Every structure is written in structure tokens, then in C-alpha cells.
Amino acid sequence: MTDRTTAPDRGGRDGGRPGGVVQTFRGPVSPAALGRTLIHEHVFVGSTELDVNHPHPEWDESAAIARAARQLTELYRLGVRTVVDLTVLGLGRDVARVARVAQQVPVHLVASTGYYTSNVLPPFFGTHGPGRLVGGPDPLVEFFVGDIEVGIAGSGVRAGMLKVVTDAEGITEDVARVMTAAAVAHQQTGVPITTHSRPDLRNGLDQQAFLRAAGVDLSRVVIGHCGDSEDIPYLRGLMDAGSTIGMDRFGMEHVLPDERRVAVVLELLRLGYADRMVLSHDAASFSRVTPPSWRAVHAPNWNFGNIPRRIVPMLLEGGASPEDVDRMMIDNPARLLGSAR
Ligand SMILES: [Zn+2]
């Protein structure tokens, strides 16, 4: 399945930069040791201030930790070896809590940094930073670089991926500030950037334009949530400009059924894009945004095991080769995650 002629070959199985390491909850590992990787997942999604003041009725911390540990242990049995937790600031990130899960599970967990906002940042950022009331350097840059180089919140767990968000509001002033800080942190550390995008608005193109202007090599960027789209010319354009696309919402059948997500991946494989796609679910073991009781009724396939259980067999049945699957699940994540300095 290689027809593509428009984009340069950036290498497959040996495409990870030699000597790179990937920071995980258990410390640095070699990119070659990552194995099958889910590059866009969430262990726990919350809202820290709400959780303190108005805990969700379905939340029970020790039960949630035990449940996540069971699910991730089962995932290892299904052949997955690494899960990237893209729960950044704004989504209730609590690395100490995830570390309690990581201690119990055989899969590698990778933490991330960045800021999840589609519109405005909290007031703290309005008064801190160059030219602002309190002044000082931009705290976003300090947070992102510190999370990557030193570790998150004193845990020693270092972030392996950066995440930014643009949505219907476009690149607002605060979103631009987050993206600029992510670009700076990326350039200092080599850690790749992923995005939350809205493919129905084709805004991955705006993300690419912004990041390119900020000096980011687009081959170091994953345009996330592209799996929500069936717009082949749009998706090809993002990949032809150098980026990898996240076919990263398998199981979100309330947005697009998995059969149609699979059909798009198969079409792009036929067009030769095996080295530009990554597969994931954007699932969560617990999310207060869409709590377990809602998911059980409305999105029964939206869980960490969906890709190994249902999607890989559908891809193979539809004509993908085992090598195509390895490219998307092993080589491409290793190439992206493995070039941090
Ligand atoms: Zn996500």
C-alpha cells in the first residue's frame, strides 16, 4: 500500500532518532521499547476546582485507581505496551494520582504538558508575564519546560508530549499564547506537539500555519482528532505539509461510527500514508465530562481495548497489512516521541 508520491519518506521502522529517550512514569525508556502505543488517551479527566468543591457522585478515588489499573493491565494482555496520557492543565491533571496507577500496571504511561483551553486562560495568567501587572517571564513557558526537563509537581515524572487546543473560537489571544509557549518549549526540548483540533472546521490548517510561523517543524506535530473527519483532501493536505494525523477517537461512535473511521484509514493507507497516521481512542478510565454511567449507555466501545479488540481486526479485514498496523501503532509513535533531547 504505497502510492503516495507527494510527501518525502521520513523513514519507518528505524525512523526514531537514535539515542533519543522517552520519559515515562517509570523513567526514561528507549523509543524501540515503546511497542504498540496509544498516543492520545486520558487516565482521569476532572476539573480540579469542581472536584474539590463539588465532587462527582460517581467518583471514588481508590475504586477509580483500581479500575484504571485493571483496564491498563488488560490492555497489556491485548498487546499494547505504551499509553500517552494527554491530560494537561485545564483537564484536572494530577500526576501523583496517575503515578499510583502506573506503579501497578505493566504498560508504560507517558505524561504530558500544555494547557487545555479553547478560549481564555485563568486570571493568574492575565497578571503574570512580560508587560503584565505582576510581570516576570511567561509562566506558561516555565511550566511547560519545567514539566519536561525537571518533572511535574515535584513527582519527578517528566512530560513526553506537549498539547495545545484550538476549537470553534479560533486562535484567541490566550490560545495563541499557549501555542507560542508550546512552540518555545518544543524548540528547547524536542518534545513533540499534539493538538486538539476541529476537523469539521478544517482548523488543523490554522494550527499548522501558526506553528510553522513560530518555527516548528510540522513533522514534529500531530494534528489530533482527525479521525472525526471523512474529508480526504483536507486530511491529505495536513499530511502532505509534514504532520502526522491523529486517528485518535475510535469508539467515539456518537461523533462518527467506527466503521466509517476505519474506512477513512483504509483509504489513506491505499494512498500511501501509513507513515503519517497514529491510532488512539481519546478514551478515559474516568472523565467527569462524560461520566462512566453516560459512556456505558451511549459509547460502549469507547475504551482502551477497542483498537486491539475491534479496530485492528477491521483494518486487516479491509485490506491493511500487519506492517501498516505496526507503522501506525509502533513506528510512528516511536519516531514522534523518541526525538526529545
Ligand atoms: Zn484528549
- Per residue in 50-102, pLDDT (tens digit) is 999 999 999 999 999 999 999 999 999 999 999 999 999 999 999 999 999 99
Confirm whether residue 108 is marked as ligand binding. no
Beta bridge mates, 286:
44
What pLDDT score does 339 carry? 76
Confirm whether residue 196 is marked as ligand binding. yes
What pLDDT score does 19 carry? 52
Q: In angstroms, what is the span from residue 42 Cα to ligand 1's centroid?
A: 7
Q: In angstroms, what is the span from residue 87 Cα to ligand 1's centroid?
A: 7
Q: In angstroms, what is the span from residue 134 Cα to ligand 1's centroid?
A: 32
Q: In angstroms, what is the span from residue 282 Cα to ligand 1's centroid?
A: 5
Confirm whether residue 282 is marked as ligand binding. yes
What pLDDT score does 140 carry? 98
Please tell me the pTM assigned to this model: 0.94
Q: In angstroms, what is the span from residue 150 Cα to ligand 1's centroid?
A: 24
Q: In angstroms, what is the span from residue 140 Cα to ligand 1's centroid?
A: 20
Strand, helix or coil for residue 193: strand
What pLDDT score does 341 carry? 73
Q: Are strands 36-45 and 27-29 parallel, antiparallel or unpaired?
A: unpaired
User: What is the helix (H) or strand (E) element at residue 75, kind and residue range?
Assistant: helix 61-77
Q: Which residues surround ligand 1, an ion (CB under 5 A)?
A: 86, 282
CB atoms within 10 A of CB 49: 10
Q: Tell me the DSSP string of 195-231.
A: EE--GGGTTHHHHHHHHHHTT--GGGEEETTGGG---
Burial of 59 (0-12, 13-18, 19+ CB in 10 A): middle
- What phi, psi does 292 have (nearest 5°)? -50, -40
**In whole angstroms, how far apart are CA 138 and each of 181, 183, 187, 231, 298?**
8, 13, 16, 37, 41
Q: In angstroms, what is the span from residue 323 Cα to ligand 1's centroid?
A: 26
- Per residue in 246-272, pLDDT (tens digit) is 999 999 999 999 999 999 999 999 999
User: Domains plus CATH for the chain?
Assistant: 22-337 (3.20.20.140)
Ranges of the chain with pLDDT below 50: 1-3, 5-18
